[in-house]
C-alpha cells in the first residue's frame, strides 16, 4: 500500500505539453501516459521512478515548481492539479470541450506556419473558421508566440475567424506526429468540418510533425455533410510565399537572418590546445567589425566566477558546462553572441548545450580545437601537464580524465605548427560559409608589422576602434591576444579608453603617475621592484610606485633573501613593508601595471581584458622602451607601449626566487635591476634625450 508522498518532477517541455493535452482531453481517446502503442510517454529518472513507484504517483511541476498534475504510477493516469496560468497567449489555449462550446459550427483549420496571402484568401472564403494554431515549440523558423501572433494577424484579415492555440509538440517522428495531429484536430473539430491549408504548409507540417493535409482527414472517417473537401493540389505549392504586410513584419522580426540570429561559438579542446587564444582573437575581430556585441565565457574565467568551487570530477565538469550553456543560451535568446572556450570534454554535455541554445532560438557553432595531446603537452604553458604526469593533479584531461572528440563539430582546427592568424582563418571561413558571421573582409584585420621598428603615433594613420558594446561576464577588447602572440596590432590603432574598460579610471594628466608592480605573493619580486624603482626615481614625485600579489595576503614581510640584497645594494626602506593582495581598485587606480611574469599579466587580463593597454610584464615593457622613442615619458610612453608592445614572452619573465636560496634571489634581483634601469628613467623622463 503506497503511503509516501509522491515525488515532484519537472518533465521535459514535450512531456509538459503532453500532460496539458491529456489533462484537457485533447488526445482522447488517449487519456494516460504510456498506453499501449501510444507515443505519449513519460520518462522518469531512476531515482524519481523509484520514489514514484513507492508513492503510486508522481507530481509533475512546471520549471518554476508549480504542481500541474499528478500522474499515477504505473497506470499513467493524469489528474490535473492546476492549469498553467502564465505564459504568452495563455487565454487562447482552450480545451476541446471549451472550443465546442464557444466555436461550434466553424470550419476548423489547423495552422502550423505563418499563413500566406493566398492561404488567407482561400481560408477566408470558407466562411466562419477556427484557426487552430498547433504551436508546440514553434517551427524551426517561428517560435510558438510568433506562430500565434502570425495566426492572429491572419485572422484579422479574414471576415470571420477565431484563433485557438494547442500545445502540440513534436515527438520527433513524422508518422507519430501525423497521427497525433489528426487525433488532436479531430477532438477540437468534433462534428465540424476540418480544412487543411495549402501544400506548402502541409509539407512543413509533415516536417514539423503537425497534422497532414485534408486527404488524411477523409481517411479518418466519413466527414460530416458540410465538410469542405479541398481538392488536392488546388493550391499549388508556393515556392516563395508572400505574406500580408502585418504577417511579413512578424516573420521578419521572428525569423532573423542568420547574421542577426543569436549565436554561440563554442570552442572545445584539450588544455593548451589554443581555445582561449583563438576565441580571443576571434572576439577581437568581431569587435573590430563593430556590428555585434560579444560576451566571453572562457573556461578559466568561468571557473573563477560562475563555477567557483567546482572540481574537475565528471559531475562538476558537467555542471560547469551546463552553466556555461545556460548563460550562453540566454545571451543567444536575445540575439547576442557568446564565445565559450571551456575544455568541455564530454559529448553528451556539449549536446545538451547545443539543445539549450537551439531551444532558445540561437545558433550553436562548435569549433573543435583538435591540437593533439603531444603538442598541448609540449606547450604546457601553465605547467599543468608536468604536474599531472607527476600525479600532482588528479583527473587531468587527456592524462587521467577522458576527452571525447566531437563528431558534430562545425569546424576542426589543429593549431600545431600554425600561426594563430592562420588557424583563425579556418574558423572565420567556416563561420562565413555557415552564414552566421562574415569576418573575411574585415578592414580591421591585422596586418603584420615589422618587429622592432617603432613609430610615433603622431605620424601614423589613426584608426579608431571603439568596439561594439560588450557585456560582461568578461568584456573583451581588441589587441590583447594579438599582442600576446607576437602579431602586432594594426597601425596606430587607438582604442577609446573606457569604452570597454569597466575598471579604468579617466586620465588625470596632473596626477602623479601610478605604477603598480605585481607578482604572486607580494613578498619577493614586487616589493623589490617597488623599492628599487623608488630608489632609481630618486626624489621625482611624478611617479608613485606600489605593489601587490595576485595571490598575496595582507601583512606579509619582505622576503629575507631579497630584503638582504636590497639593503646590501644600499636600499634603506622596506622595514615597514607589508604585503597586500591585488584588487580591482588597485588595478583601476594604476596608470601602469608591471608584472614579474606573463602568467600574472594573464591572470589580470582574464578578469579585466579591457586593461590590456596598461598591463605589461616588466620585461615586455622594457623591450618597448629599448626599441622605442627616447623622447616619450610618463603617460605618453604608456600609450605608446600599448600600441607598440611585443609579446609578453615568457622568456622575458623574472622567475620566482621564493625559497630557492640566495643564488636564485641574487639572479632575480640582478634581472629586476637591469629591467628597472631601463624602465624607471623612461617613465620619469630622466631618460629623455633632451632631459
H or E segment at 386?
helix 384-389
In the list ligand ADP, ligand PPS, none, the entry touching 344 (Cβ below 5 to 8 angstroms by class) is ligand PPS
DSSP string, 402-438: -----SS-SEEE--TT--HHHHHHHHHHHHHHHTS--
How many Cα atoms occupy the beta-carbon half-sphere of 238 within 13 Å? 17
| Cα distance between residue 584 and residue 349, in whole Å | 34
**606 is an interface residue for ligand PPS by CB under 6 A:** no
Q: 235 or 648, CB closer to ligand PPS? A: 648
547 assigned binding-site residue: no
Determine contact, residues 111/147, Cβ cutoff 8 Å: yes
Q: Which of 178, 303, 466, 580 forms a contact with ligand PPS (CB under 6 A)?
A: 303
Candidate segments 38-46, 69-77, 274-282, 633-641, binder of ligand ADP by CB under 6 A: 274-282
Q: Which of 107, 415, 579, 598 forms a contact with ligand ADP (CB under 6 A)?
A: 415
- Shortest Cβ 455–ligand ADP spacing (Å): 26
- Shortest Cβ 380–ligand ADP spacing (Å): 9
Query: Residue 36 is placed in which grid cell?
Result: 499501449
Binding-residue pattern over the window 339 to 358 for ligand ADP, x denoting contact by CB under 6 A: --x-----------------
Residues numbered 247 to 286 that lie near ligand PPS (CB under 6 A) are 271-272, 276
Q: Are strands 57-61 and 67-72 parallel, antiparallel or unpaired?
A: antiparallel
Q: 100 or 379, CB closer to ligand PPS? A: 379
Helix, coil or strand: residue 162 = strand
- Shortest Cβ 650–ligand ADP spacing (Å): 9
Q: 235 or 427, CB closer to ligand ADP? A: 427
**480 is an interface residue for ligand ADP by CB under 6 A:** no
Q: Which of 423, 544, 615, 642 forms a contact with ligand ADP (CB under 6 A)?
A: 423
Query: Residue 503 is placed in which grid cell?
Result: 575598471
| Cα distance between residue 467 and residue 493, in whole Å | 12
Q: Around Cβ 202, how many Cβ atoms within 10 Å?
A: 24
Q: Are strands 67-72 and 78-80 parallel, antiparallel or unpaired?
A: antiparallel
382 assigned binding-site residue: no
Q: Around Cβ 170, how many Cβ atoms within 10 Å?
A: 20
Helix, coil or strand: residue 60 = strand
Helix, coil or strand: residue 463 = strand
Q: Which of 7, 209, 244, 299 forms a contact with ligand PPS (CB under 6 A)?
A: 299
DSSP string, 480-515: HHHHHTTPPPSTTEEEPTTTS-TTPPPP-TTSPEEE
**566 is an interface residue for ligand PPS by CB under 6 A:** no
Determine contact, residues 452/422, Cβ cutoff 8 Å: no
- The residue sitting closest to ligand ADP, measured at its beta carbon, is 274
Handedness of CA 63, 65, 70, 71 (dihedral sign): positive
646 assigned binding-site residue: no
Determine contact, residues 590/609, Cβ cutoff 8 Å: no
In the list ligand ADP, ligand PPS, none, the entry touching 227 (Cβ below 5 to 8 angstroms by class) is none
**379 is an interface residue for ligand ADP by CB under 6 A:** yes
| Cα distance between residue 69 and residue 59, in whole Å | 6
Determine contact, residues 44/58, Cβ cutoff 8 Å: yes
95 assigned binding-site residue: no
Name beta bridge partners: 111. 133
Residue labelled with grid coordinates 573543435: 368
- The residue sitting closest to ligand PPS, measured at its beta carbon, is 299
Determine contact, residues 547/516, Cβ cutoff 8 Å: yes
Binding-residue pattern over the window 322 to 361 for ligand PPS, x denoting contact by CB under 6 A: --------------------xxxx----------------
Query: Residue 312 is placed in which grid cell?
Result: 574537475
Helix, coil or strand: residue 79 = strand
**361 is an interface residue for ligand ADP by CB under 6 A:** no
Candidate segments 402-410, 413-421, 497-505, 605-613, binder of ligand ADP by CB under 6 A: 413-421
Determine contact, residues 542/574, Cβ cutoff 8 Å: no
In the list ligand ADP, ligand PPS, none, the entry touching 345 (Cβ below 5 to 8 angstroms by class) is ligand PPS
Q: Which of 11, 146, 211, 272 forms a contact with ligand ADP (CB under 6 A)?
A: 272
**393 is an interface residue for ligand PPS by CB under 6 A:** yes
**184 is an interface residue for ligand PPS by CB under 6 A:** no
- Shortest Cβ 605–ligand ADP spacing (Å): 12
**321 is an interface residue for ligand PPS by CB under 6 A:** yes
Q: Which of 107, 268, 271, 684 forms a contact with ligand ADP (CB under 6 A)?
A: 271
Query: Residue 521 is placed in which grid cell?
Result: 605573493
313 assigned binding-site residue: no
Q: 277 or 579, CB closer to ligand PPS? A: 277
270 assigned binding-site residue: yes
276 assigned binding-site residue: yes
Candidate segments 313-321, 512-520, 570-578, 637-645, binder of ligand PPS by CB under 6 A: 313-321
- Shortest Cβ 650–ligand PPS spacing (Å): 15
- Shortest Cβ 483–ligand ADP spacing (Å): 11
CA distances (Å), origin 159, targets 109, 126, 244:
15, 10, 15
Number of residues that bind ligand PPS (CB under 6 A): 21
Name beta bridge partners: 79. 70
3-state helix, strand, coil split of the chain in percent (to 5) is: 40, 15, 45
- Shortest Cβ 262–ligand ADP spacing (Å): 24
List Cβ neighbours of 387 (8 Å cut-off, separation of 6 or more). Answer: 393, 396
In the list ligand ADP, ligand PPS, none, the entry touching 393 (Cβ below 5 to 8 angstroms by class) is ligand PPS
275 assigned binding-site residue: yes
Is 661 exposed, middle or buried, given 0-12, 13-18 or 19+ CB atoms closer than 10 A? exposed
Q: 268 or 526, CB closer to ligand ADP? A: 268
| Cα distance between residue 580 and residue 553, in whole Å | 5
Find, among 507, 525, 535, the residue nearest to 638 by Cα: 507
Which residues in this chain contact ligand PPS in the complex, by CB under 6 A? 271-272, 276, 299-300, 303, 312, 317, 320-321, 342-345, 382, 384, 393, 395-397, 401
Binding site listing for ATP: 269-276
Binding site listing: 269-276
Which residues in this chain contact ligand ADP in the complex, by CB under 6 A? 269, 271-278, 341, 369, 379, 381, 415, 418-420, 423, 485
Amino acid at each position: 500500500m503506497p503511503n509516501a508522498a509522491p515525488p515532484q518532477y519537472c518533465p521535459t517541455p514535450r512531456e509538459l505539453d503532453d500532460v496539458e493535452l491529456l489533462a484537457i482531453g485533447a488526445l482522447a481517446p488517449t487519456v494516460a501516459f504510456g498506453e499501449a502503442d501510444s507515443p505519449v510517454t513519460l520518462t522518469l529518472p531512476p531515482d524519481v521512478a523509484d520514489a514514484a513507484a513507492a508513492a503510486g504517483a508522481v507530481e509533475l511541476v512546471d520549471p518554476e515548481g508549480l504542481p500541474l498534475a499528478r500522474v499515477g504510477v504505473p497506470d499513467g493516469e493524469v489528474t490535473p492539479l492546476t492549469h498553467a496560468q502564465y505564459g504568452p497567449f495563455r487565454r487562447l489555449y482552450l480545451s476541446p470541450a471549451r472550443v465546442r462550446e464557444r466555436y461550434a459550427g466553424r470550419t476548423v483549420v489547423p495552422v502550423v506556419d505563418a499563413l500566406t496571402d493566398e492561404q488567407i484568401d482561400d481560408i477566408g472564403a470558407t466562411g466562419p473558421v477556427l484557426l487552430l494554431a498547433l504551436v508546440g515549440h514553434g517551427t524551426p523558423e517561428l517560435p510558438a508566440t510568433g506562430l500565434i501572433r502570425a495566426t492572429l494577424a491572419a485572422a484579422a484579415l479574414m471576415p470571420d475567424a477565431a484563433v485557438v492555440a494547442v500545445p502540440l509538440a513534436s515527438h520527433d517522428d513524422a508518422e507519430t506526429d501525423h497521427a497525433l495531429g489528426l487525433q488532436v484536430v479531430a477532438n477540437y473539430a468534433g462534428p465540424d468540418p476540418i480544412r487543411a491549408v495549402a501544400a506548402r504548409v502541409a509539407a512543413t507540417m509533415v516536417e514539423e510533425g503537425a497534422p497532414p493535409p485534408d486527404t488524411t482527414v477523409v481517411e479518418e472517417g466519413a466527414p460530416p455533410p458540410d465538410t469542405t473537401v479541398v481538392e488536392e493540389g488546388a493550391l499549388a505549392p508556393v515556392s516563395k510565399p508572400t505574406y500580408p504586410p502585418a504577417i511579413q513584419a512578424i516573420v521578419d522580426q521572428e525569423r532573423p537572418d542568420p547574421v542577426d540570429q543569436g549565436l554561440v561559438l563554442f570552442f572545445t579542446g584539450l588544455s593548451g590546445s589554443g581555445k582561449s587564444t583563438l576565441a580571443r582573437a576571434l572576439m577581437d575581430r568581431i569587435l573590430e567589425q563593430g556590428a555585434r556585441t560579444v560576451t566571453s565565457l572562457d573556461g578559466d574565467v568561468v571557473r573563477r566566477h560562475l563555477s567557483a568551487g567546482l572540481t574537475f570530477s565528471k559531475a562538476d565538469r558537467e555542471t560547469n558546462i551546463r552553466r556555461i550553456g545556460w548563460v550562453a543560451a540566454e545571451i543567444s535568446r536575445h540575439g547576442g553572441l557568446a564565445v565559450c572556450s571551456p575544455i568541455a570534454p564530454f559529448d553528451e554535455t556539449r549536446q545538451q548545450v547545443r539543445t539549450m541554445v537551439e531551444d532558445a532560438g540561437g545558433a550553436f557553432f562548435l569549433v573543435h580545437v583538435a591540437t593533439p595531446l603531444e603538442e598541448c603537452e609540449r606547450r604546457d604553458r601553465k605547467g599543468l601537464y608536468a604536474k599531472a604526469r607527476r600525479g600532482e593533479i588528479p583527473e587531468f584531461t587527456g592524462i587521467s580524465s577522458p576527452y571525447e572528440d566531437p563528431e558534430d563539430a562545425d569546424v576542426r582546427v589543429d593549431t600545431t605548427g600554425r600561426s594563430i592568424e592562420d588557424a583563425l582563418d579556418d574558423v572565420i571561413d567556416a563561420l562565413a560559409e555557415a552564414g552566421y558571421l562574415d569576418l573575411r573582409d574585415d578592414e580591421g584585420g591585422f596586418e603584420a608589422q615589422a618587429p622592432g621598428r617603432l613609430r610615433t603615433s603622431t605620424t601614423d594613420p589613426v584608426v579608431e576602434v571603439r568596439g561594439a558594446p560588450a557585456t560582461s561576464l568578461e568584456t573583451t577588447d581588441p589587441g590583447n591576444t594579438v599582442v600576446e602572440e607576437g602579431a602586432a596590432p594594426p597601425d596606430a590603432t587607438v582604442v577609446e579608453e573606457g569604452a570597454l574598460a569597466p575598471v579604468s579610471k579617466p586620465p588625470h594628466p596632473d596626477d602623479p603617475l601610478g605604477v603598480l608592480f605585481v607578482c604572486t605573493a607580494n613578498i619577493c619580486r614586487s616589493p623589490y621592484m617597488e623599492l628599487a624603482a623608488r630608489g632609481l626615481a630618486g626624489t621625482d614625485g611624478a611617479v608613485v610606485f606600489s605593489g601587490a600579489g595576485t595571490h598575496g595576503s595582507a601583512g606579509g614581510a619582505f622576503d629575507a633573501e631579497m630584503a638582504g640584497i636590497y639593503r646590501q645594494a644600499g636600499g634603506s626602506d622596506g622595514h615597514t613593508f607589508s604585503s597586500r593582495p591585488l584588487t580591482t581598485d588597485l588595478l583601476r587606480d594604476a596608470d601602469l601595471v608591471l608584472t614579474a611574469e606573463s602568467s600574472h599579466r594573464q591572470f589580470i587580463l582574464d578578469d579585466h581584458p579591457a586593461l590590456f593597454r596598461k598591463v605589461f610584464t616588466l620585461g615586455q615593457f622594457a623591450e618597448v622602451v629599448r626599441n622605442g622613442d627616447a623622447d616619450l615619458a610618463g603617460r605618453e610612453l604608456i600609450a605608446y607601449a600599448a600600441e607598440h608592445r611585443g609579446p609578453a614572452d615568457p622568456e622575458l619573465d623574472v622567475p620566482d626566487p621564493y625559497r630557492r636560496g640566495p643564488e636564485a634571489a641574487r639572479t632575480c634581483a640582478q634581472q629586476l635591476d637591469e629591467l628597472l634601469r631601463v624602465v624607471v628613467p623612461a617613465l620619469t623622463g630622466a631618460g629623455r634625450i633632451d632631459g
